[in-house]
Chains A and B, each alone.
Chain A
Amino acid sequence: QKEVEQNSGPLSVPEGAIASLNCTYSDRGSQSFFWYRQYSGKSPELIMSIYSNGDKEDGRFTAQLNKASQYVSLLIRDSQPSDSATYLCAVNRDNAGNMLTFGGGTRLMVKP
């Protein structure tokens, strides 16, 4: 079992729809969770962080965390073609110090 798992996609949604990206993790003691966006050929950019169970909203983005199910998700409302990118889930596992463990990423395609 991978430490952080994501569906590689591609996930295709029409413009204006809600995109839902999912991530599961294996270390139950993980404390911090992050979503990064990575455009093709570019470096990852932090877009959301979440630390407690529940929802956290920032503009069109909502991160959801369920530690009991070891599941974190990212919702993108009113998806735009400019949201087309790979979305990486990253976890700061318990006792991992300052290391982040990344999933393989989900490629999102927003079609006009």
Chain B
Amino acid sequence: DAGVTQSPTHLIKTRGQQVTLRCSPKSGHDTVSWYQQALGQGPQFIFQYYEEEERQRGNFPDRFSGHQFPNYSSELNVNALLLGDSALYLCASSFPTQANYGYTFGSGTRLTVV
């Protein structure tokens, strides 16, 4: 049973560029959440997708956008990258009503903005 898979594993981008991160949820899960984890901090909620729509959003600027495909996979796009966007980006999958049971996280994408 495949867990949550994320790609790429590592990425280096230049300030001002755009980046796309990808996530495939665990088999059977249809809800995908994205988190940003800066070094030494806890994960911060970016947004959550269900049925191809953004259903919740955290306190992140519009430079952060996403998409969910019919097969439940998801993308996170970040435009006009800033140095402060350097972080570990985590994708988590779940059933829509099962946040109560916790998320399954992918291994993350380490983004470095230079």
Q: Is A17 an interface residue (CB 8 A)?
A: no
B99 touches A32 (CB 8 A): yes
Q: Is B55 an interface residue (CB 8 A)?
A: yes
Q: Which 7 A-B pairs have the closest CB atoms?
A: A98-B99, A102-B42, A43-B105, A46-B102, A32-B100, A104-B42, A43-B108
Given contacts A46-B103, A98-B48, 9 further A-B contacts (CB under 8 A): A32-B99, A32-B102, A34-B102, A43-B108, A44-B105, A49-B100, A97-B99, A100-B99, A104-B41
How extensive is the interface on chain B, given as a class? 20 to 34
Residues of B bordering A, CB below 8 Å:
31, 33, 35, 40-45, 48, 55-56, 58, 88, 90, 94, 96-108
CA distance A96 to B58 in the complex (A): 10
How would you classify the secondary structure of chain A's contact residues: helix, strand, loop or mixed? loop
Name, among B48, B88, B94, B102, the residue most crowded by chain A CB atoms within 10 Å (CB to CB): B102
Give every chain B residue within 8 A of A43 (Cβ-Cβ).
Answer: 88, 90, 105-108
CA distance A105 to B88 in the complex (A): 15
Can you offer 15 A-B residue contacts whose CB atoms are under 8 A? A34-B102, A36-B102, A44-B105, A45-B105, A46-B104, A49-B101, A88-B43, A97-B48, A98-B94, A98-B97, A98-B99, A100-B103, A101-B45, A102-B42, A104-B41
